[in-house]
Amino acid sequence: MSRRGNSDERSGILKWIVLGIVVVIGLLGVGIGAASWHQVPAGHVGVKTIWSEVVMSQTYAEGLRTITPIMESMYDYDTRIQLAQLKEQAAASDQQDAITEVSVNFQISPALANVVYKRIGDLNTVKTIVLKPGIDQSVKTTTAKFSSVELVTQRDKVRDGIEKRLKEYLDAVTFDQGGVSYKASLLIEVKAVAISDFAFTETYKKQVEDTARAQSKIIEEQRKVDIETAIAQQKIEKAKGEAGSIIAVAQAQANATLVKAKAEAQALKLVREQLSPIIIQKNAIDRWDGKLPVFLMDDGNGNILLDVGKFLESLGKDKETNTGQTKP
């Protein structure tokens, strides 16, 4: 009985051992199977490494990817737009120190993320090794071209200058990989640069603000002057128009008066021409004393005195005599 019991006991232990082995193998299989898949998140690319060596042939887009467990791994590189904020102290052209707070939006090239990862590192390393020196140099170079007042009043020009210098800096920095030289501007694309703030000493800050307000007031006053000048010019043009209208009316009235005067003068002239013979005859009649004139004529043999009145009287008598003779 004891032998049979010992045999059953050993058989039970063996079964549990086998079951344990099967479970372990199953768990290992599940683990290995799970390790064969890698999910690349949205906004990232996968950088594959084989025995910690970066695969340079390609990067892997977001989605489910397969890898060989233990031998291979996948690093998710964030290719979304990133923000780098830095404060840089630099002297303006008037030797006033200004602390410029700059914000830079940048993005890692998805196609070259494996080069960035191998030659530079992760995003924090990119900011420290590449962007910080570039921003520092760009701010100092640009700030030196402006006075402290202009840094405030010409903020947009300062920002554009910093962005231009930063891109030039990235064009000049290169990284060699596999016999190929990559410009930093190809690996890291600057999207936008913004100036968050300028900081000066309190005394100088007040001076800058006062100057800016004074310039703003000058601009406002000039705008008012321009408006008043425009209004005055409008009044002048209106007055010229009204004066022109008055002159035109007066000219028309003068022309009408002249025409009327000429017409009246012409009428008077015609009246005088028509009335002159009648007036002369009337004056002659008024001045006649009732006696006909006597003319002295020469008939070739001597002078003959002709009394017109007696002549007319004799003619009248002859007419009466002839009239009486012709009656039946």
Neighbours of 265 (CB within 10 A): 10
Please identify which residue in the block is written with the tokens 């039946």: 328
pLDDT at residue 326 above 50? Answer: no
Q: What's at 150, amino acid-wise?
A: E
Quick: pLDDT tens for 248-282: 777 777 777 777 778 777 766 766 666 566 666 66
Mean pLDDT of 181-207: 86
| Domain 79-200: which CATH number of 3.40.50.20, 3.30.479.30, 3.40.50.1220, 3.40.50.2300 | 3.30.479.30
Q: Which of 76, 84, 175, 80 is nearest to 122 (CA)?
A: 76
pLDDT at residue 300 above 60? Answer: no
Cα gap 225→259, rounded to integer Å: 50
Mean pLDDT of the residues in the chain: 79
Question: Of how many residues is the chain composed?
Answer: 328
The beta strand positions in the chain, using DSSP E, are 37-40, 44-50, 53-54, 63-66, 72-78, 82-91, 97-108, 174-177, 180-183, 188-199, 294-298, 303-307
What is the three-class DSSP state of 39?
A: strand
Q: How sure is the predictor about 238, in pLDDT bands with cuts at 50, 70 and 90?
A: confident
What is the three-class DSSP state of 71?
A: coil
Q: Which residues pair with 66 in a beta bridge?
A: 37
Specify the pLDDT at position 177: 85
Mean pLDDT of 58-72: 87
* Residue with the larger pLDDT of the pair 9 and 195: 195
Cα gap 28→14, rounded to integer Å: 21
Specify the pLDDT at position 328: 44
Handedness of CA 17, 23, 24, 25 (dihedral sign): positive
Specify the pLDDT at position 327: 44
- The burial class, CB within 10 Å (0-12 / 13-18 / 19+), for 306 is exposed
Residues 6+ apart with CB under 8 A from 118: 54, 56, 177
State what percent of residues in the chain have pLDDT above 90: 34
Specify the pLDDT at position 159: 94
Quick: pLDDT tens for 4-19: 556 666 666 766 676 6
Quick: pLDDT tens for 133-188: 999 999 999 999 998 888 888 999 999 999 999 999 999 999 998 888 999 999 99
